[in-house]
Amino acid sequence: MARRLGKKSDSSVRNYEKGRNEPPIAVLRRIAKIGGFPLAWFFTEDVDEPGPSVSSYDPDETSMPPGLQQLIDSGCAMRPDELEALKGYADPTDPDRGARGAMSWSPGDWLDALLDERREQ
C-alpha cells in the first residue's frame, strides 16, 4: 500500500491505520481509489448505515466558504449540524469558532476542522 501511495516506507501507512496520524485528503482519495470504495466511506460512523449527507442540503451560496463547498462536492458525508458548526469557523462574529482566514481554507483544512468537531462529540 505504501508503495502504491508513493511513500518511501510503510511506517506512514501504519501510523494512519493506528490513528497516530491523519492522512491528507489527497492520500484518502488515493486509498479510496486503490480500495475501490467511495471517499465518503472515511467520514461515516457506521459503514453499513451512513449518516445523512449534505448532498441534499441547499446552503446559502454567499455564506458557503469555497474550500468547504469543494469538500462537500468531493463526496464527504456530514450531517447538517456538522455543516452548520463548520460554517461557524468562517463567521468572524461567532465567538466560539470564528477563525481568521477560514474563508480561504483549503478542503483539507475544512476536513481537519470536521475531524476535530467529531472528536469533541
> In this structure, are 116 and 61 located in the same domain?
yes
Q: Is the pLDDT of residue 41 over 50?
A: yes
Domain count, the chain: 2
Structure confidence by residue, pLDDT tens digits, 55-94: 333 344 446 788 888 888 888 888 888 888 888 888 777 7
Q: Are 112 and 85 members of one domain? A: yes
On whether both 48 and 31 belong to a single domain, the answer is no
Q: Which three cell numbers stand for residue 85?
A: 458548526
Q: Are residue 62 and residue 113 in the same domain, yes or no?
A: yes
| Whether residue 102 has pLDDT greater than 70 | yes
Contact indicator for 68, 86 with CB cutoff of 8 Å: yes
Same domain, 93 and 60: yes
pLDDT at 15 > cutoff 60: yes
Predicted pLDDT at 44: 64
Nearest alpha-carbon partner for 42 in 6, 75, 14: 75
3-state secondary structure of 76: coil
**Domain co-membership, 59 together with 18:** no
Residues 94/105/71/116 CA torsion (nearest 10 deg): -60
Mean pLDDT of the chain: 76
Of the listed ranges 19-23, 29-33, 115-119, the one predicted with least confidence = 29-33
- Domain shared by 45 and 33, yes or no: no
Name the residue range of residue 56's domain.
Answer: 40-120
86 & 49 share domain: yes
Question: What is the reported pTM?
Answer: 0.48
On whether both 50 and 27 belong to a single domain, the answer is no
50 and 65: one domain? yes
